[in-house]
Structure 1
Amino acid sequence: MPLLLIPGYQNYVVKGIRAAAPSFMMDLANREKQHLLDARTYVNFTTLGVSAPAEVTNITVLQSFES
């Protein structure tokens, strides 16, 4: 029975990652827009003091190709 639960759990984890990535990208975009308005220059996300959450940085190639 535990072997049947693994694919379901993996799908649950992938859905969580897919939800975290767009949230991070929207936060990053908003910070970039605000910085552009304030300083009139573009910067990379490390200059903004933003770091990607672990859910986003730990995405493997296999997970990115799952549907």
Structure 2
Amino acid sequence: MTIKVIRGNPTPEELAAALAVVRARAAALAAVPPGIPRPASAWSDPGRVAQQRVPAPSPTAWSRTYWPA
């Protein structure tokens, strides 16, 4: 694994702290047994995108699926 500093000039202590966080996260993920599913990310939750309920099926429902009320 390679870490590259794009901007700024971190001190050796700041770089060591960031690397410790990354390594701790990687170790935590590696410690999960293969049979246990990992929790799904909130980014993949469809409820995050759908702010309103989908209109009930009706002859005019197609026109209400995109435009907000």
TM-score by length of structure 2 reads 0.34
Higher helix share: 1
Greater relative contact order (Cα < 8 A, sep 6+)? 1
Higher alpha-carbon Rg? 2
